[in-house]
Structure 1
Amino acid sequence: MNLQISGRHLEVTPAIREYLSVKLERVVRHFDHVIDVAATLSVDKLKKKAEVTVHLSGKDIHVEAIEEDLYAAMDSLVDKLDRQVQKYKQKVQDHHRGQSIGDAIVGE
């Protein structure tokens, strides 16, 4: 998984980078066909915004969360992303009537 984190009006510190990468490991644990992840963290006056775009085999998922605390925004973002990835995984499995995910994506 390629992880790219950028900040808007904010310096991405090693602590923030580590926190987000540990949280995103949960998504990879549920669905291992993640190609790359692009995350953008931004700060406005009182709102902190976290956005992420996950490139999967056959689909891109975009999620964003706005909170008053950046770490709370990242937590909310990962929860939303995890739900969407599990929903996509279930859809792929149901569509192919029980085939494994790898077989369904490759088309075997």
Structure 2
Amino acid sequence: MNLHISGHHLDITPAINDYVQKKLDRVLRHIDNIIDIQVILSKEPLKQKAEMTLRVPGKDIHAESIDDNLYAAIDLLIDKIDRLVVKHKEKQKKFV
């Protein structure tokens, strides 16, 4: 699994990097065949935005969130992506 965290108008500090990796553990316990994870954190004048794309065999799972606080945006993003991963896994079970 490749993890790439990048910032747009924002420097990725070790604290932000560790926070994202710690939160990703919640998603990784639901799915194990992830090929690649792309995280983009961006800062705009009045809002913070977090985007994530998970590449799994046969599908790309994408989510984004916007909040005033970057850490809150990351939390919302992890909640969304976790729900999407669980939903994807349920669909996979139906077809097996």
TM-score range, shorter chain: over 0.9
Residue 93 of structure 2: aligned partner = 93
Q: Which has the larger radius of gyration?
A: 1
- 1:13 aligned partner, one-letter code: T
- 2:24 aligned partner, one-letter code: L
State TM-score, norm by structure 1.
0.87
State TM-score, norm by structure 2.
0.97
CA RMSD of superposed structures (Å): 0.6
Structure 2 gaps, min length 5: none
- 1:78 aligned partner, one-letter code: I
Which digits, 9 at most, give the CA deviation of each residue in 1:12-64, with x for residues without a partner?
00000000011111111111111110000000011000001100111001100
Structure 1: how far apart are the matches of 2:91 and 2:49?
29
Task: Please state if 1:66 is matched with 2:71.
Answer: no
- 2:39 aligned partner, one-letter code: A
Structure 2: how far apart are the matches of 1:53 and 1:81?
9
Q: Which has the higher contact order (CA 8 A, sep 6+)?
A: 2
Which digits, 9 at most, give the CA deviation of each residue in 1:64-90, with x for residues without a partner?
000000000000000000000000000
Runs of 4+ in 1 over 2 A off after TM superposition: none
- 1:64 aligned partner, one-letter code: E
DSSP-derived class of the 2:91 partner: helix
Structure 1: how far apart are the matches of 2:4 and 2:68?
23
Structure 1: how far apart are the matches of 2:78 and 2:51?
10
Which structure features the higher share of strand residues? 2
The alignment-based identity, stated in percent, is: 53
Task: Please state if 1:2 is matched with 2:6.
Answer: no
Give the paired residue count.
96
Structure 2: how far apart are the matches of 1:48 and 1:30?
27
- 1:77 aligned partner, one-letter code: L
Residue 33 of structure 2: aligned partner = 33
